[in-house]
C-alpha cells in the first residue's frame, strides 16, 4: 500500500511539474506578446506625436484665411486658385445662435475639454464593439473635426482617429477656444457647394452669418451631420426635422429656454439665396496648367497648393489671354450636326523668354484639371512642322525669304529619283512664287 501511494504521489508530482512548466512557458510567451505590444504602442505614439508636432499648427489659422493667388508677368494679380473654403469671417461676425447650436449638437463639452472628450470616446468605443469593429463615427470633438478637415482624409480608420486626436491636442495648445470654433465654422462644408458659415448664411437665408436667428442657426448646425441629406434646398422636410431636434437639444443642454425653442419650431424654413459665387479662377486652362506644373515640377500637393496661401508668379499676359478667350468665344467653328463641338486649342509663347502668355485648352464646358488639349494632347504636327523641316533648312542652304519657288510638278527627288511632288489639285496656278508666300 505504501509503495502504491509513493507511485501515485510521484505521478501527481510529475503531472504538476508538467503543468507548472506549461504555465511558465505560456507566461513567458504572454509576457513577450505584452512587451511587443507595449513597444508597438510606444512606437506608434511617438510617430503620432511627431506627426502632430510637424503639422505646422501655428500657421493653421492663417492658412485657412488665405487663398492662393496667381500673378501675371507684370506682377499684377490675375486670380485665385480653387479652394475648399468660403469667405472667412471672425468669430465676432458669427451669430451666437449659430455658435450655440453647433456646440450643443457637435460638442457640448467644447469649452471644458482639452481637445478630446473621454465620455464621447467611450461612447464611440461602445459603438465600435457593438458594430463588430466598424467605426460608425462619434466621439470626435470640434477640435478633432477641425484637425480632420484641415489635415486628414475622411476615411473611418483607427489610425486616422489616433492622428486626429494628437493633432487636436496640438491645436488646443496653440489656440484659444473661440479661435478653434472660428476656424471650424469657416472651414466646414454646408452643402450646395458652399464652404464656411458666412457663405452658407447667404446661400440659405440671404443674410450674413451675424444676422442668423435661433431657428436658422439650428438649420445650419443640422446640415453639418450630413450636408447631402439635411440641406434645406434639396431636403426641406429632413432639414426641418433635424432643426427641431437640435432646438430641443439646445434646451436640454442649457443654451436656450423651452419657450424660445418652441417659437422657433413653429416657424417654417424661409429660404433666400443671395450667395454670390464670385469665381476668381479667371483663366481656367492657364490656371489648370499652373497647378499641373507646380505638382509635377515642384512636388507641391494639390490640396496644399489650393489651400495654403501660395503666391504663384507666371508668364501670363492677361491682355493676350483675354483676346484669345474672346476669339474662341466669337470665332466660327464648323460643329457637327449632332452638336458635337469642333475642338481646338492654342498657346501663345514669348520666343525670347519661353514665357507662356496665354492658353486655351479646348471648347465647351471647362472641367477643373480636366483634359487640356493645349498642354496634354499628343497629335501629329501637320503643317506646323513645315517651318522647321522645310523652310529653315532652305534658308540655311542659301534661300532668301523672297527667293522664287517654281510652281510646277516635280519628279526626281530622293536617291532613286522616284519621289513625285505636285500641288494637291495637280494644277500650277503660278509660274513662280516668293518663298515667304
Distance, in Å, from the CA atom of 302 to the CA atom of 288, rounded to the nearest integer, reads: 11
Contacts of 59 (CB under 8 A, 6+ apart): none
Q: Can you list the pairs that 293-297 forms with residues at least 24 positions away whose Cβ atoms lie under 8 Å?
A: none
Residues in contact with 117: Cβ distance below 8 Å, sequence separation at least 6, in sequence order:
107, 109, 139, 141
- Hey, what's the cell of 26? 505560456
Beta pairing class for 69-71 and 311-313: parallel
- Rounded to the nearest angstrom, the gap between the alpha carbon of residue 229 and the centroid of all alpha carbons in its chain is 21
How far apart, in whole angstroms, are the C-alpha atoms of residue 366 and residue 222? 33
Residue 93's nearest CA partner among 217, 182, 2, 3 is 182
Catalytic residue chosen out of the listed positions 92, 112, 296, 383: 383
Catalytic site includes residue 106: yes
Pairing between β-strand 432-434 and β-strand 404-406 as defined by DSSP bridges:
antiparallel
- Is 344 among the catalytic positions? no
- The answer to whether 331 and 342 have CB atoms below 8 angstroms apart is no
Contact status, residue 139 vs residue 121, Cβ threshold 8 Å: yes
Cell of residue 42, nine digits: 510606444
Give me 411's grid cell.
519628279
**Torsion, Cα of 87, 88, 90, 93 (10° steps):** 10
Q: Which residues contact 429 (CB under 8 A, 6 or more apart)?
A: 407, 423
Exactly one of 106, 164, 172, 198 is catalytic; name it.
106
- Residue 404 main-chain phi, psi, to 5 deg: -80, 135
Contact 314, 71 (CB under 8 A): yes
Q: Which residues are catalytic?
A: 106, 383
Amino acid at each position: 500500500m505504501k509503495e502504491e501511494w509513493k507511485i501515485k504521489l510521484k505521478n501527481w508530482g510529475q503531472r504538476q511539474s508538467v503543468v507548472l512548466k506549461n504555465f511558465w512557458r505560456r507566461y513567458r510567451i504572454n509576457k513577450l506578446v505584452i512587451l511587443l505590444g507595449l513597444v508597438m504602442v510606444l512606437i506608434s505614439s511617438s510617430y503620432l506625436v511627431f506627426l502632430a508636432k510637424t503639422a505646422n499648427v501655428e500657421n493653421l489659422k492663417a492658412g485657412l484665411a488665405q487663398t492662393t493667388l496667381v500673378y501675371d508677368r507684370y506682377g499684377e494679380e490675375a486670380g485665385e486658385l480653387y479652394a475648399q473654403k468660403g469667405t472667412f469671417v471672425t468669430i465676432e461676425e458669427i451669430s451666437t445662435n449659430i455658435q450655440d447650436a453647433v456646440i450643443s449638437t457637435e460638442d457640448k463639452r467644447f469649452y471644458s475639454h482639452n481637445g478630446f472628450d473621454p465620455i464621447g470616446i467611450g461612447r464611440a468605443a461602445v459603438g465600435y464593439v457593438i458594430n463588430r469593429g466598424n467605426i460608425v463615427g462619434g466621439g470626435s470633438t470640434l477640435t478633432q473635426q477641425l484637425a480632420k478637415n484641415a489635415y486628414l482624409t475622411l476615411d473611418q480608420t483607427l489610425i486616422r482617429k489616433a492622428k486626429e486626436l494628437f493633432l487636436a491636442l496640438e491645436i488646443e495648445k496653440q489656440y484659444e477656444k473661440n479661435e478653434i470654433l472660428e476656424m471650424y465654422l469657416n472651414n466646414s462644408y454646408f452643402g450646395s457647394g458652399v464652404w464656411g458659415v458666412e457663405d452658407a448664411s447667404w446661400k440659405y437665408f440671404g443674410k450674413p452669418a451675424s444676422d442668423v436667428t435661433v431657428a436658422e442657426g439650428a438649420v445650419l448646425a443640422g446640415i453639418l451631420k450630413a450636408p447631402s441629406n439635411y440641406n434645406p434646398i434639396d431636403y426641406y422636410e429632413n432639414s426641418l426635422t433635424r432643426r427641431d431636434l437640435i432646438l430641443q437639444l439646445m434646451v436640454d443642454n442649457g443654451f436656450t429656454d423651452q419657450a424660445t425653442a418652441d417659437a422657433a419650431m413653429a416657424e417654417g424654413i424661409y429660404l433666400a439665396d443671395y450667395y454670390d459665387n464670385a469665381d476668381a479662377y479667371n483663366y481656367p486652362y492657364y490656371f489648370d496648367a499652373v497647378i499641373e506644373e507646380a505638382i509635377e515640377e515642384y512636388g507641391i500637393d494639390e490640396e496644399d497648393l489650393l489651400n495654403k496661401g501660395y503666391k504663384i508668379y507666371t508668364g501670363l499676359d492677361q491682355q493676350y489671354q483675354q483676346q484669345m478667350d474672346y476669339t474662341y468665344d466669337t470665332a466660327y467653328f464648323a460643329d457637327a450636326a449632332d452638336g458635337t463641338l469642333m475642338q481646338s486649342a492654342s498657346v501663345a509663347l514669348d520666343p525670347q523668354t519661353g514665357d507662356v502668355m496665354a492658353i486655351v485648352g479646348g471648347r465647351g464646358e471647362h472641367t477643373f484639371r480636366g483634359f487640356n488639349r493645349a498642354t496634354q494632347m499628343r497629335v501629329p504636327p501637320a503643317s506646323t512642322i513645315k517651318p522647321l523641316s522645310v523652310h529653315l533648312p532652305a534658308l540655311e542652304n542659301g534661300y532668301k525669304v523672297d527667293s522664287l519657288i517654281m510652281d510646277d510638278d516635280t519628279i526626281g527627288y530622293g536617291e532613286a529619283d522616284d519621289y513625285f511632288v505636285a500641288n494637291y489639285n495637280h494644277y500650277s496656278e503660278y509660274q513662280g512664287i516668293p518663298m515667304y508666300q
